[in-house]
Each structure stands twice: as C-alpha cells, then as structure tokens.
Amino acid sequence: MTRIGVLALQGDFLEHEAVLRRLNVEPVEVRQPSDLADLDGLIVPGGESTTFCRLMQEYSLHEPLRGLLKAGVPTWGTCAGMIVLARRVSDLPFPTLEALDIEVKRNAYGRQVDSFEADLEVPALGELPYHAVFIRAPVVAEVGSGVEVLAVLPEGDPVIAGGSPVAVRQGNVLATAFHPELTEDTRFHRYFLGIVDAARRRSGAK
C-alpha cells in the first residue's frame, strides 16, 4: 500500500485527499511528527504559506519535514506548498523547508488578477493542454540549474510576461504554482504518484 501524507495544518488538504481517493490511494493526514512515519510521499497543499511555516514550527514539524525531504521522500507542493518548499522567498517571516532551488515572490501577479486560469502545455503529462487554476499564486523569479521546468505560462498571457515557470521539479521534489486539487484533471496527481512509485522501486519496496 502506498502511503501518501497530506500536510493537514491548514489550507485545502481535503481537496488533495479527495483526488488521492479517486486514484485509490488512502491519504494520511499529517499534523504531528509521528504522522510522518513510513510515508512514501507527501503533499503540501495550497493555503497560506506564512501560516504553514508558523504552524510547522509550533507543531515541531519543521525539522522532521526537512529530514523527510533530505531522505529523498517524494514531495509535492501546490501554490502555498510551492512557497513552503522554495529555497528563497521574498516577504516571508518564517523559514521554509528549503528543498527546491527556486526563488519565489508571493502574491506577485498583482491585485487585479488575484485569480486566473490558463491552458498550459505540459509535455510530461502528454499532448492535451492542462487547464490550471491560479489563486494568489507565487511567481517563480529564479530557477537553479538542477531544476527542471515542466510548464511555463503561455505567451500573450495578460497577467505577466509569458514564459514564467509555473511547474518545476528537482529530483523527487515537485511544485506547481497552481491548484491541480481544484480541477477534475487528475494527471498531475498521477504524475506525482509515478515519482513515488519509481522511488519505492528504487528503494526495493513492493
């Protein structure tokens, strides 16, 4: 049985859990360090990154989560989750998990466009465009050399200059600036479960 933890301190963890169940994976809600035992993967949902980072400290989860990431357990952050995983964040008064070599700016798409949707080309998911929902999303300002860009905003997007990365991967760490847990298309969840399966196979698990 694959065990996927969903950080359940705040934000839209229930939506992630619902998608996992649709894919026949029973999620594990993570609220305290003992919930991290034997996880094959972890999802950090959308919500409010300042609250996540504050609560991770209050619940003594910060160091155990860093340990999990250092051990290479596949982890996926969506929107606020992307911020929580980023190495550098402008305007955040708490430490992140520093697991992904990107720099993000919070709420940088501008007030008028707090939320928007875009059809993305994501070669890793196949030919069909992926309809992505952005809600007060972070802008990825810089991407380190070891980071693979899986999708960028299309050119001509009215929000900011096209070409801005919105889905990235560094080894077993995945991050999307948008919310796949809020749409019907399960391809990003299946893509993440593929990373989890590959990691399990490499470690010799059944």
Residue 64 C-beta: closest distance to ligand GLN, Å: 21
Q: Which of 78, 95, 107, 84 is nearest to 168 (CA)?
A: 78
Give the residue with the Cβ less far from ligand GLN, 47 or 64: 47
Active site residue 16: no
Q: To the nearest whole angstrom, how small is the minimum distance from the Cβ of residue 6 to ligand GLN? A: 14
Nearest-10 crossing angle of helices 187-202, 13-22: 70
Which residue in the list 79, 127, 155, 184 is annotated as catalytic? 79
Phi, psi of 105, deg, nearest 5 = -115, 125
Least separation in angstroms between CB 106 and ligand GLN: 4
Reference 45, options 195, 186, 176; nearest CA is 176
Q: Compare residues 108 and 143 and give the one whose CB is closer to ligand GLN.
A: 108
Residue 53 annotated to the active site: no
Shortest reach from residue 110's CB to ligand GLN, in Å: 12
79 is catalytic: yes
Nearest CA among 66, 98, 93, 61 for reference residue 82: 98
Q: What's the token pair of residue 202?
A: 């490499």
Choosing from 16, 62, 179, 189, the catalytic residue is 179
Binding site for ligand GLN (CB under 6 A): 46-49, 79-80, 83, 106-107, 135-136
Catalytic entry in 117, 181, 184, 189: 181
List 131's β-bridge partners, or say none: 119
- SS3 of 131, please? strand
Catalytic residue positions, numbered: 79, 179, 181
